[in-house]
Structure 1
């Protein structure tokens, strides 16, 4: 029997009416003869509400207890969806992460899956039942309930698809698929019919919130095709898979305003200085998004780090301590910066790529503070106030927007087209 793994995010399941609508889609797929495994997120903003409830009791909730609390959201959704499917005349059964055999390490609130013992799921599929699995959660090797971190339901779905030998994993959300830019900032952003794993990883890591990057990495390692589709309507969405043709081409523009720039000025030149600073940041749990360095005065160097805005206070404290230890002159921090990135496999091989990016931003009178490049992206640090203008300028430069006639035609459907928060 062909097995299909579907994942539905919290926005797609936010109300009883939406749950019933999703149930109808699932039953139609089951009646077509496929074995169906469905992974669900918590309804709407349930996870954020539970997190807020915990913090109203204690400012720093213990991680183990947080996992016990937060997994309740997906259990509610899985039960209600199973009820709705059964009401439509199909057999269904709901499982928690532990009942599904999802075994993780012991890292509470950010666990990694070690293995999936899916025998129970296979037995229920053999009985022609739809299996509903609570996403985002598992059980550790020490028999503790764990969660997989933000966007963990995507990881659950991909891991189950691989374990069950599914050909592809369908991710249903409240947007049409992967777009060339955020339509809230770039009106007329186009749907991408297909995209490579590498391109999707860059998009996910630089501000696009449709898919969790760990799930894309896992799918890429196992060559599992992903399909992002709208949960309302019959859109074909976006297919994510291996690259098939060599095509240096801009595929999208991302932006991020929630970053901060920190600089460690006039660091004495030493082979160990950089490794010590980066190690201290890592030990404090600060993820360095980008790194730049430049020559300072009198045999010194300047080290600059781009971090998430939420990590600014921790990063500043770490760098101040490192400055005293290694003899750097000062630490400078700025929150008024943003990031805009151009994405596409092999784009930096194009000889005029940087020129086109810089010219487009220059025409819009946007100052570029720093630039970082890789095989699949060019990222520019710019003033935070200019991020929207920069994204629109680059989308125009690389023809990433619908023709105006198409924009006016599609604008009246009333459907939300912006990327939703992670589900």
Structure 2
């Protein structure tokens, strides 16, 4: 396949990249959140399987992130994006069959691999395929796909579940297929780096990677326990938990779009402390016993925690130029490792404290404050 020259005539590749992130992250990862209680209720898995399936998805995501760039070097970016979308579609369809925990573990793991491929490649490929002046906005559009997928999952899952769990899984597979069909003609296809550029040393960007990893660690609490906090922690109806999760998704769309624009104007490293400050505010609001504060914390958490991806993507381009893809893979892998480790730690803390939401959200607040400190220290490079 001969790579096309970078496109300077619009943002079409960015919208295709948003479709990839919508399917690989917003659906393949987050659509499972509202589906899991239904699976337990139907007896497909028990409560002990929850952690295993979540860990399998996250492990697969990390593997996909680490393998995606090398695979794209051999096959080309568009083919690996196709591979990621195809894996996500097949994984959803396979989960429509109740064939036991091992079966679900395999396919949830492969769904994670799909998401890792798409997250590792879509953003850098789009930034290399649009005009320099459009890179900030393009990055925001791409990463807004995650929030868009969260909202789409919130809209699709409840009506699909009326037809039963197989219908829900197959409906999500069809959703991925439709997104793939729409996005594929505009896949970004950046030219390969010249050998001299590829051989250059890549900046370490330690403070940027630390801030982004700590941000991911701090966001584990709202990403896992937000709906539970609304229902069991604040005594609200289950619909309120779904509404809070939808608010998280809406905030994510706003945070990524605005993050891309602001980073394009003032720089990603200078913008990142503002997003980390918003994350600190979101975790603080979640700890308030006044229940309406939760409906401020949810969109603000999505704005900051997911929006930080667009800001960090722009910062990676500032730090490493044409080799931004390497820094972005390192950042995404660090984020995945941090979330996996803190996820298990918070699960243990939640159990040890008698299921205290204050404990897990307090830990998230401390990690978010550390992320703000690291971002502030690295704002000037």
More helix by share: 2
TM-score range, shorter chain: under 0.3
The structure number with the bigger radius of gyration is 1
Normalising by structure 2, we get a TM-score of: 0.27
| RCO comparison, higher one (Cα < 8 Å, 6+) | 2
Structure holding more strand per residue: 1
